[in-house]
Amino acid sequence: MTKLSVNINKIATLRNARGGNMPNLLQVAADAQQFGAEGITIHPRPDERHIRYQDAFDLLKVVTTEYNIEGNPVPKFIDLVLQVKPTQVTLVPDAEDAITSNAGWNTIKHKDFLTEVVTEFKRNGIRTSLFVDPTEEMVAAAAITGTDRVELYTESYATEYAKGNKDGIAPYVAAALQAQRVGLGLNAGHDLSLENIKYFKDNIPNLLEVSIGHALICEALYLGLENVIQLYLNKLAN
């Protein structure tokens, strides 16, 4: 079964809007796991506009499932991950001023840098994943860095699916098969939703984990967090 990791960045955005502690990020993380989520994901950025670096430490008190920290491996981020020691670190090449992640790594161009960072994290017992576009070439090059997994950037799939073009999944299938050939575990995330998750899961071989935040929190505004998590788990299981 594909695991569901809930990205709680948007909860932090809402909390920060008023400067207090409502909603309580730790309580939401605990509740999400109680409702069935099999992981919690955060993506701290240098400006801390949603997840704060202190949140990463505070969440250690409540995360009992898989703990995934995403981000660009700048020195401050590397230091944070090495101190927190989450289950998994997902390396994402987002610019400091990016609203959200918008591209995967060029694992050929950045091979030496990624190899160095991956080696350091794995030396500290942290599973590594590289955020990549759905191309066989980038997946194959990712394996050379020593990473444990890749996370496929799924925005283009979601965009095409919303247009009714189910053929948009084809490069993801090819990338997934390439990951299998080179011995990499496979994650996926970005713009996955209740509308498109089942078709993606049913067609992508060996999908270990999906990380979903923005859509899940938006859906929870209407349907409730517990109900939405159960709906995702059902779609991922069948």
- Report d(CA 95, CA 101) in Å as an integer: 8
Does the active-site annotation cover 110? no
Residue from 70, 151, 209, 219 carrying the catalytic annotation: 70
- Report d(CA 148, CA 39) in Å as an integer: 17
Which among 148, 151, 235 has a CA at the least distance from the CA of 200?
235
Does the active-site annotation cover 96? no
Residue from 43, 50, 66, 219 carrying the catalytic annotation: 43
- Report d(CA 20, CA 46) in Å as an integer: 20
Q: Which residue has the tokens 């490069």?
A: 171
Q: How many residues in the chain?
A: 238
Residue from 38, 190, 209, 219 carrying the catalytic annotation: 190
- Report d(CA 72, CA 180) in Å as an integer: 25
- Report d(CA 66, CA 74) in Å as an integer: 23
Query: Max CA-CA distance within the chain?
Result: 48
Does the active-site annotation cover 190? yes
Strand partners, 70: 90
Q: Give the DSSP letter of residue 86.
A: -
Render 113-164 in DSSP notation, one character per residue: HHHHHHHHHHHTT-EEEEEE-S-HHHHHHHHHTT-SEEEEE-HHHHHHHHTT
Give the helix/strand (H/E) hosting 4: strand 3-7
Residues carrying an active site annotation: 43, 70, 190
